[in-house]
Chains A and B, each alone.
Chain A
Amino acid sequence: MSSPEAASLVRRRSTILARFGHEVNWGDFVFRRATAFVALFVIVALLAMALAMGRSSQVSLAKFGLGFVFSRDWDPVHESYGALPFIYGTVVSSLLALALAVPISLGVAIFLSELAPKWLRGPVAFTVELLAAVPSVVYGLWGIFALAPWLRDTVEPLLAKFFGFLPLFQGPTRGYGMLAGGIVLAIMITPTISSVSREVLRAVPGALREGALGLGATPWEAVRFAVLPYARSGLVGATVLGLGRALGETMAITMVIGNRTEISTSLFAPSYTMASVIANEFTEATGQLYLSSLAEIGLLLFLVTVLLNVVARLLVWRVGRLPEGGRL
């Protein structure tokens, strides 16, 4: 053991270790690097996604430039492409979904974290989370055969009758269209918003709540004046997270929104979203420019959702780190 070769081996090993870290065990040395290498994959995958999409959309970026975002043309025959109808459809359907889903999700979150009796919390939370488990395409199927006919025969005529003076509720009622899309999206993002909001409300220190109740506030007043102000940024974050989901949602909305490249103020009219046009036309796209334009729409979608996610995470993350002034 004490031969000069062994001694030099030991010395070499310790110089390597001194250079790379403090481990004293080869196993640990390898283990740490190996897992770090795999973890690097996560970063590489995200960057590769951005890169791959940037590269695929190069042709369209070079040809249309910024005008791509503002052009209303989508004409494969004449090779003229603009993303405006899809951006409009995506934005409006997502905003509609938020308008429907945010009040309901906040209600659910407040109910589950503050007001509901203990025995009811588990089952209700479980059911709402199952909503997130149903595959998108099944919502789409349900949307085609259950939601759209109901909207066409019952909801839309009623809306037209009472609010028909608004440009939002004019035109023929077909069931398929912006309204159906918005409703399906709302159903799909409700579990996201409500479960994140619930986590945020849970992170609010109990002392705030108890302080308000101790001063004689009703349970709602405690929520309104003690809990909600503290949780505000987190709740906004939950909403932004829901918005990100809505923007990227593909199958369900493709199946009910009608897929027409028109821009109409009416919620009854068919529309088209960025994700839908990719889903519908990507495999059939002939010609480099066509494919590239679709890829550019994908790139835009990717960048916007990544940005929204970053913002949302920062907002949610902040709630757990606000000054607490003594937690019980």
Chain B
Amino acid sequence: MLDAYRRRKVTDLLVRGACVLAAVMAVIPLGSVLFYVAERGISGLNWAFLSELPKPVGETGGGMANAIVGTLKLVGLACVFGIPPGVLAGVYLAEFGHSRFGGVVRFCADVMSGVPSITVGIFVYSLIVLTTKHFSAWAGGVALAVLMLPTVTRTTEELLKLVPESLREAALGLGVPKWRATLRVMLRTAAPGIATGVMLAVARVAGETAPLLFTAFNNRFWSSGVDEPTASLPVNIYTYAVSPYEDWHAQAWAAALVLLIMVLLLNISARLLVRNRVGAR
């Protein structure tokens, strides 16, 4: 009897230990990645990297200023194309989404969020690049926007549903039409949370490479406007990492550091934003 009890206790301890071990093992790769990127990235990072164009193959030095600007441009375009429809679709799902149509939209959004990013690349390629006959920044922006759309939609819906109904009722009671109550009261109350979700989505697409390979393509020079092929940090990291040149490898690490700082800053500040608000309530 006592023996069985002890065995159960030991099993319990062993399983707890295994779970702790699992948590540790899950965290180790993150530590390793951050360590490598920080160590090698810092030694490759210098002012020239941030301010100069890439040098021709074979010459050392140069930088990725065009890719840094290109990434910002692509992400900006993705926001322009992706956020407004995402938020509006989310508003629809939260306000009128009990219908069959709403269910289908919700389902499609969920399925779409699991579609591989490379197939989104093929989709935008055949939709835009083949029609316009050239790679362009805005094709890349559309590809990233398609990736953002489901996340933004579902986050907006979830957060609008969290807003207390009493706020809407108060607005309606004052004689405000429903659409104004939704836009001016509900959406405004949910705005910080939606901003968090949007920032997370932006952080995710900022690091996407696969959909840019055949939409924005790449460019060794500055691209003007949005109608030319555009360099981006993720695509450059890929190209430089698989190249045979030592110097390019160092630049790939520096680019990874810059990209990682951008992405993690967005991600962490988004999470802190929501945590502080929850704590304050």
Contact = CB atoms under 8 A, between A and B. Distances in A.
Given A107-B19, A302-B119, A130 B105 contact: no
Interface residues of B, number: 88
A40 B16 CA distance: 48
A124 interface: yes
Contact of A141 (B18, B110, B214, B237): B237
A36 interface: yes
A160 interface: no
B213 interface: yes
Nearest to A110: B19
Interface stretch (B20-28, B60-68, B72-80, B190-198): B20-28
B122 A46 contact: no
Interface in A246-300: 247-251, 255, 275, 278-279, 282-283, 294-295, 298
A25 interface: yes
Contacts of A308: 114
Contacts of B242: 144, 255
A319 to B, nearest CB: 15
A218 B11 contact: yes
Contacts of A108: 19, 22-23, 26
Contacts of B37: 138, 141-142
B149 A130 contact: no
B146 A45 contact: yes
Residue with the greatest number of chain B CB neighbours at <10 A, chosen from A115, A137, A278, A282: A137
Contacts of A326: none
A305 B116 contact: yes
A3 to B, nearest CB: 26
A36 B96 contact: yes
Interface in B207-221: 207-210, 213-214, 217
Residue with the greatest number of chain B CB neighbours at <10 A, chosen from A27, A40, A108, A141: A141
B226 interface: no
Consensus secondary structure, chain B interface: helix
Interface residues of A, number: 87
Given A128-B27, A130-B267, A145-B249, A28 B115 contact: no
Contact of B30 (A49, A134, A219): A134
Contact of A49 (B23, B40, B123, B210): B123
Contact of B22 (A107, A141, A218, A309): A107
Given A138-B259, A141-B253, A309-B110, A220 B118 contact: no
Interface string A287-328: 000000011001001100110111011000000000000000
A48 B127 contact: yes
Interface stretch (A52-60, A70-78, A164-172, A203-211): A52-60
B42 interface: no
Contacts of B88: 34-35, 38-39
B89 A39 contact: yes
B130 to A, nearest CB: 9
A258 B20 CA distance: 34
B64 to A, nearest CB: 14
Given A40-B105, A126-B271, A137 B209 contact: yes
Residue with the greatest number of chain B CB neighbours at <10 A, chosen from A38, A42, A104, A137: A42
Nearest to A50: B123
B26 A31 contact: no
Interface string A218-253: 111100000000000000000001001101111100
Given A35-B92, A39-B93, A141-B237, 10 more contacts: A41-B85, A107-B18, A111-B22, A134-B263, A136-B209, A219-B12, A251-B238, A282-B125, A305-B119, A306-B115
13 contacts: A35-B89, A38-B92, A43-B104, A52-B126, A115-B19, A130-B267, A138-B37, A141-B256, A145-B36, A219-B12, A220-B15, A298-B119, A306-B114
The list of the 3 closest CB pairs from A to B, nearest first, reads A135-B207, A248-B116, A107-B22
